[in-house]
């Protein structure tokens, strides 16, 4: 604002502090020529009495009022720049890791869909391609769920699939939409896909919840760091900053750095509100760390999406092998369908391609995505970066004052600037946080007025930590049902993760689940079918459910033990 070359001023300070204190002090006791080069007319040639100074000691000085004002503004810039530099590690980690995880999770869904299309085209041929929209809708809903919009993702898919497969295993009959509605409506009793839907639901829901919570948590961390480091120092803080960094220049001792204890008291006063974030910040970092651990363990997203095509194929095989008994029960409950006119049997070539076993990857050959990595590597790198983030805000004053550009080394306690002259700094160093600044000798802090912005950041940290803690147990905090209290985990809290994953199967405790209360799970309302397509959009006619239905309302369509026989055309 005064046309002062800031870069030159900072360079001069580094030159001053790089020299010998005694020499500089002796050579500049009466002359102030060192202020002329960077500050021009703002500096004085001779030392004068300092009654005009507002911030520095009012002894003999080389600083005019304008020079003091200019240096005070520069001390504020130095402070904000130092806070920015030392918090850059946090900001970079949260920003880059959130982007990499988000890209990685989305690409896993894309790869899973592509893999299923390739596998099912080879395995079932035209039977798959003619019904591929059922599977496409599944992945559309999975992407929507990851993005934060919970729908009855898997229950809708299994409802559509049971109608399709039932039609295909009974090609000699004609089925109206109302008849197929009856089939899916009684799926809970029929259980056409055996236990496969429950296993897939547990795998997918918990992995997706953890993945989304981690991505959202990293984004929250980025935003909180951004807000916490964007501050405007008040007049008391600026006074302390000026006194420690530039008042030595005005006193004619430009090479003296502030004593470390002096620096700490100034920084603890200026950063008192940020230090109050520390407790919730540590909870937040700990929650991020544990969700990351879950993702490389029982909630592994890679294994979850890899298992989708395999589990769906197992479900279809189960219904195919038990088609006779299922059809008999359906005919008893929904009535006898009309037979179709006589037609020729399908040839094996027409009904499907040659069966090929589905491919899964061993841990040693896990593929990488376009992101150039796999989940294990991403999680390991994140955990390494999270470890040093604990206690960041209470450590920030020490981090700044440990910088040799900002304060003297502890070994120079008798040869540093103590706020008045060259010598030891005697006042004690204050504690951390707003309440401990009541007697801060360098920065007067009003401890009776907590900062509103800091209170808001504390609440944001609590919300983010709560979501992450719920995700550790497979519960979706975004879609908690207030009526159930326990949230989307519901009755699934006691469920074990999939018993056929590598490393989580034979050694896992047996699945145990308390009996469900039938009254708490009323019959699902009928779907409204649109007539402008083969089956229409099945979602539009649904009654919106609480998000906890990912765990509870999906069960009527997922836990379906059936006994069917293999239809010859499916081979």
d(CA 87, CA 427): 28
Residue 411 CB partners (closer than 8 Å, separation 6+): none
The sign of the dihedral angle between the CA atoms of 25, 26, 27, 30 is positive
Secondary structure (DSSP) of 192-236: TTBTHHHHHHHHHHHHHHHHHHHHHHHHHHHHHHHHHH-----HH
Distances (CA, A) of 439 to 239, 468, 498: 16, 38, 58
Mean pLDDT in consecutive groups of 10 residues from the start of the chain, 571 residues: 39 46 41 54 55 75 82 93 94 94 91 90 87 88 74 79 90 90 86 89 88 94 95 92 89 87 96 95 96 90 88 91 91 88 50 40 45 79 94 95 91 88 93 94 90 94 95 74 35 38 33 35 41 38 36 33 32 29
Gap between the terminal Cα atoms of the chain: 82
Which of 47, 17, 54 shows the shortest CA–CA distance to 32? Answer: 47
Burial 306-335 (b: 16+ CB within 10 A, else e): bbbbbbbbbbbbbbbbbbeebbebbeeebe
- Sketch the domain layout of the chain as residue ranges: 68-341+371-436
Q: How far apart are CA 23 and CA 9, in angstroms?
A: 20
How far is the C-alpha of 322 from the C-alpha of 310, rounded, in Å? 19
CA distance 110 to 21: 65
The tokens of 382 are what? 């994140």
User: The tokens of 253 are what?
Assistant: 């001792």
Six-digit token pair at 77? 């810039």
254 CB burial (10 A radius; 0-12, 13-18, 19+): buried
Query: β-strands 43-48, 173-174: how paired?
Result: unpaired
Q: How far apart (Å, rounded) are the C-alpha atoms in residues 327 and 334?
A: 10
- 79-107 per-residue burial string, b: 16 or more CB within 10 A, e: under 16: bbebbeebbeebeebbbebbebbbebbbe
Please, which residues bridge with residue 46 across strands?
31
Strands 43-48 and 61-63: antiparallel
CB crowding 521-547: b at 16 or more within 10 Å, else e: eeebeebebeeeeebeebeeebeebbb
Backbone φ and ψ for 187, nearest 5 degrees, come out as: -65, -30
Query: Are 559 and 198 spatial neighbours (Cβ–Cβ below 8 Å)?
Result: yes
In terms of Cα–Cα distance, which of 524, 529, 528 is closest to 554?
Answer: 524
pLDDT at residue 44 in the model = 54
Strands (E) in 395-518, as ranges, are none
> 10 Å Cβ neighbour count for 219?
18
Q: How far apart are CA 81 and CA 401, in angstroms?
A: 14
Where does residue 444 fall: left (phi above 0), alpha (psi -120 to 50 degrees), or beta otherwise?
Answer: beta
17, two tokens: 């502090």
Instruction: Determine the pLDDT at residue 257.
Output: 92
CB-side neighbour CA atoms (13 Å) of 188: 13
> Tell me, what's the pLDDT at 491?
40
Enter the tokens of residue 443: 């920065």
Residue 422: phi and psi, rounded to 5, are -85, 125
Closest CA to 274 of 409, 441, 84: 84
And the tokens for 274? 């940020």
The residues, any chain, with a CB within 8 Å of residue 311's CB and separated by 6 or more, are: 196, 199, 200, 203
């Amino acid at each position: 604002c005064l046309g002062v070359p800031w870069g030159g001023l900072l360079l001069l300070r580094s030159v001053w502090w790089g020299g010998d204190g005694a020499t500089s002090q002796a050579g500049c006791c009466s002359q102030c020529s060192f202020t002329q080069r960077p500050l021009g007319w703002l500096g004085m040639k001779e030392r004068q009495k300092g009654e005009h100074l507002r911030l520095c000691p009012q002894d003999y000085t080389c600083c005019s009022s304008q020079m003091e004002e200019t240096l005070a503004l520069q001390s504020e810039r130095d402070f904000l720049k130092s806070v920015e530099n030392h918090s850059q590690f946090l900001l970079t980690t949260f920003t880059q890791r959130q982007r990499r995880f988000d890209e990685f999770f989305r690409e896993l869904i894309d790869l899973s869909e592509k893999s299923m299309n390739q596998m099912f085209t080879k395995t079932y041929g035209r039977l798959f391609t003619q019904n591929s929209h059922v599977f496409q809708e599944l992945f559309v809903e999975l992407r929507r769920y990851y993005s934060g919009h919970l729908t009855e993702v898997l229950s809708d898919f299994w409802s559509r699939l049971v109608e399709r497969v039932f039609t295909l295993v009974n090609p000699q009959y004609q089925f109206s939409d109302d008849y197929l509605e009856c089939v899916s409506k009684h799926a809970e009793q029929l259980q056409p896909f055996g236990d496969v839907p429950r296993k897939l639901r547990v795998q997918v829901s918990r992995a997706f919840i953890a993945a989304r919570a981690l991505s959202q948590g990293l984004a929250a961390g980025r935003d909180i760091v951004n807000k916490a480091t964007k501050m405007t120092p008040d007049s008391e803080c600026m006074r302390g900053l000026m006194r420690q960094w530039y008042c030595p220049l005005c006193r004619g001792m430009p090479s003296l750095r502030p004593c470390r204890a002096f620096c700490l008291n100034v920084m603890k006063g200026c950063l008192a509100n940020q230090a109050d974030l520390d407790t919730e910040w540590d909870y937040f970092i700990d929650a991020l760390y544990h969700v990351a651990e879950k993702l490389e363990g029982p909630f592994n997203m890679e294994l979850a999406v890899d298992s989708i095509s395999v589990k769906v194929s197992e479900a279809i095989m189960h219904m195919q092998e038990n088609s006779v008994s299922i059809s008999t029960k359906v005919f008893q409950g929904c009535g006898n369908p009309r037979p179709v006119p006589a037609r020729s049997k399908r040839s094996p070539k027409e009904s499907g391609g040659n069966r090929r076993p589905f491919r899964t990857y061993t841990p040693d050959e896990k593929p990488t995505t376009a992101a150039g990595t796999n989940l294990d590597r991403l999680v390991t790198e994140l955990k390494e970066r999270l470890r040093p983030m604990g206690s960041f805000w209470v450590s920030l004053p020490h981090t700044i004052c440990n910088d040799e550009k900002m304060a003297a080394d502890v070994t120079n306690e008798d040869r540093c600037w103590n706020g008045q002259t060259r010598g030891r700094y005697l006042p004690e160093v204050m504690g951390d946080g707003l309440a401990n600044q009541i007697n801060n000798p360098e920065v007067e802090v009003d401890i009776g007025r907590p900062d509103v912005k800091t209170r808001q950041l504390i609440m944001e940290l609590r919300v983010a930590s709560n979501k992450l803690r719920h995700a550790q147990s497979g519960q979706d905090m975004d879609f908690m049902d207030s009526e159930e209290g326990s949230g989307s985990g519901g009755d699934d809290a006691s469920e074990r993760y999939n018993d056929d994953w590598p490393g989580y199967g034979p050694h896992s405790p047996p699945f145990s689940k308390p009996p469900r209360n039938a009254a708490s799970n009323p019959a699902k309302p009928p779907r409204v079918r649109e007539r402008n397509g083969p089956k229409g959009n099945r979602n539009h006619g649904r009654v919106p459910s609480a998000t906890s239905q990912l765990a509870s309302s999906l069960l009527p369509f997922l836990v379906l033990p059936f006994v069917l026989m293999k239809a010859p055309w499916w081979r």
